Chain A
Amino acid sequence: MSSAVRVLKTLEKARTGERCTVKEWDYEIVPKTLNEILKKYNLEKTCDINKPVNEDMELADRFYQAGLEAALRLGFLCVDTETIVKVKEEELLRSLQQVPSSFTIGEGSEQVTVKARRPSDGQPPVYFGPLSIQMNEEYYVPVAQGILMSRLVDGQEGPSLDTVMDCPLLANSPYESFAGIYEARLRKEAQWRAGRVGIGNAIVASSSTEYGFLAGFALYKPPQIVLCLNPASMKINYVNLHKTIVAHEYGHYVRTESPTMIGGYTGGPEGSALASIATDLLQYHFHGTHLAGSPTYDLRYAGNCGRHALWAQTIASQAISRNTNILMNKTINQVSGPCTEMFFLETIAGFVAAGVSGLEFTISPRSGGGRHKNHLTPFEAWYSSAVFKGSAGLSAEKANEILNEVLPKYEKELRNPPKGKSFPECFNVKTLQPTEEYLKMYLRMREYAISLGIPMPPDGVVS
């Protein structure tokens, strides 16, 4: 159990700290400070795209020290008050010693424990699925049921709803409140159908603001994981803090997420890795976070299965996992859709890189970059979880061998990825039987992953 008292101090700092506009923060303070720190620690141009998984652990530790300095020099900007929220070194170091190194979620046979990992750790990470990919209302239960049929999937977050009882689900409106409640009921139905009563949840998927969560959370037995999404790395906002306070006080786990963008305010892969580390270090202190998440995406294609993003995300994960007990959640963002070979290749690269770099937890898949409605089926989740868990214990060197085999097969397509096929095009939505085409592709790509040296655990349904 935890309390929201820690968050009161954050709120006070967000009212009384140094004033700074969002524009100054984004365009001047963050880039200038990160560049100074990269230079000071001799980290400029250290990204080696031939080794998308960093193999130099001394470099990872140097990034950690630099990230700590970035956390202390920058702090977070609260975008609602346009005020900088800072922490003193002794306070931050004390907080880092108190970070929870494990937590348990789910009931009975559905219980899973998320534990701190180290790079190349043999302990498998935890996988929740799917992400909040939008589905037609009538597909919510069957697709969620299908995904949960594999016990490789440890908990549920998505999908998200397109409508609520045929009404448009408008953000920041009372429809979101309704969606929070409605989604909870549909989840229970899907989990019961899949034989997964008591499974852990990441809530609420169909509502971006605090309304859906505040409306729906009472229908979930604590503790569950609550997504408190920040606008970006090095920033916080009131929406997130509303959720954080309620989650703590009602006995849930707080999962903060604050993405960095290669090409954005944090610069290239090195600057983005630095911002990601700094953000992860600050999240427990300011939010009492149980699961810190600052994933890195590449702005050029809005995913992170290309070389620069893979490198940035892995070195940031290594830095945190080697030097702290912070439990991390980072998203692996495929951009190709279901029933495409590229989806499986992106998954191999993204999840092997994450799994060998100390990541404890993820929620996936993001088939088609989450852009296309109904483009989500059970196979993407089953495959992602098998690769993620199968990568436990592999070395960074082995990971690079695998990545350098698969990356050339798809990296040129990252900016124009195949959309793939929708759920009803890939599965019979009543019987949940896959099409022969997709089943063959799935099984072939499982064999391919095994041939690369990934010990893929069976999904328990078709393999």
Chain B
Amino acid sequence: MGDIFNRISEAVRYGQRDEIEKLADEVIANKINPIDAIQKGGVDGLKKLGDAFENLEAFLPELMAGGEAMKLLINKLTPYLESDKSALEGTVVIGTVKGDLHDIGKNLVATQLAVNGFNVIDLGVDVSNNKFIEEAEANKADIIALSSLLTTSAYYIQEFIERLEKDGLRSKYKIIVGGGPIEPEWAREIGADGYSRTAVGAVKVCKELMKQDKITEIIIGD
């Protein structure tokens, strides 16, 4: 049993989608608990990938490939879970706000979220507030993640939250914000539900947001 978990872990660590296809079939054929395959195999591979990123042995492209491999594993095994609940953590609509073309920080957060089992809808950069709302509605998002590296774009985040309130949509979504000029005090002031300085911290915050029905105090990540 340990052998297949090790092989899944390796396949996720190195982003081998073809290998994951075969291993997922093997899990199903041998009636191995899918949760164990995801946790002891996939999550372990992601941890190794995260460590490699910290040590400059893996980079954003490898993180992306690992995230896609993990998503494939989850998608293949979800129908075989005992409960009806998807193994995905939740759906996040993410983008860099209007007027801002910076993508690398947002991509890192999107990748880390995907790597950690979230269904991520990445809207790219220079995303209007209307687009965020349309896509969140269309994809039944749980969380909307807004990034800004420019102080002049950060204002759109405040306007976005005000707009959700006005449209009666605020309670439908959890809002997490981040990016260079965003400070936790400001995130609290504008009524965001979560803030994180780093991509790894954003994953923790999103997981915490998913656990709570109603957010009474902003969750601040690393």
Contact = CB atoms under 8 A, between A and B. Distances in A.
Interface of A: 26-28, 31, 134, 160, 162, 168-173, 175-176, 179, 206-209, 231-232, 237, 239, 261-269, 271, 299-300, 302, 308, 369-373
A160 B104 contact: no
A122 B202 CA distance: 47
Nearest to A268: B56
Contact of A263 (B59, B150, B181): B59
Contacts of B135: none
A202 to B, nearest CB: 17
Nearest to B199: A299
Given A162-B151, A231-B102, A26 B61 contact: yes
A308 B152 contact: no
Contacts of B54: 300
Contact of A160 (B53, B60, B100, B151): B151
B156 A170 contact: yes
Nearest to B181: A371
B61 A232 contact: no
Interface of B: 53-54, 56, 59-61, 64-65, 98-105, 107-108, 126, 150-153, 155-156, 180-181, 183
A37 B181 CA distance: 36
Contact of A265 (B60, B65, B183): B60
Instruction: Tell me if A's interface is mostly helix, strand, loop or mixed.
Output: loop
A232 B152 CA distance: 19
Contacts of A308: 56
B120 to A, nearest CB: 14
A269 B56 contact: yes
Given A209-B99, A370-B180, 19 more contacts: A27-B60, A31-B61, A134-B181, A160-B152, A171-B100, A171-B152, A172-B126, A176-B152, A206-B152, A208-B152, A237-B101, A239-B101, A261-B60, A263-B60, A267-B59, A299-B104, A302-B105, A369-B180, A371-B181
A455 B52 CA distance: 41
Nearest to B103: A231
A232 B60 CA distance: 14
A302 B147 CA distance: 15
A263 B57 CA distance: 9
Contacts of B126: 172
Contacts of A172: 98-99, 126, 153
Contacts of B99: 170-173, 176, 208-209
22 contacts: A134-B151, A134-B181, A160-B152, A162-B151, A170-B99, A171-B155, A172-B99, A172-B126, A208-B153, A232-B103, A263-B59, A263-B60, A264-B59, A264-B60, A268-B56, A299-B108, A300-B54, A302-B180, A370-B181, A371-B181, A371-B183, A373-B183
Contacts of B60: 26-27, 261, 263-265, 299
Nearest to B126: A172
A128 to B, nearest CB: 20
Nearest to B124: A22
Contacts of A208: 99-100, 150, 152-153
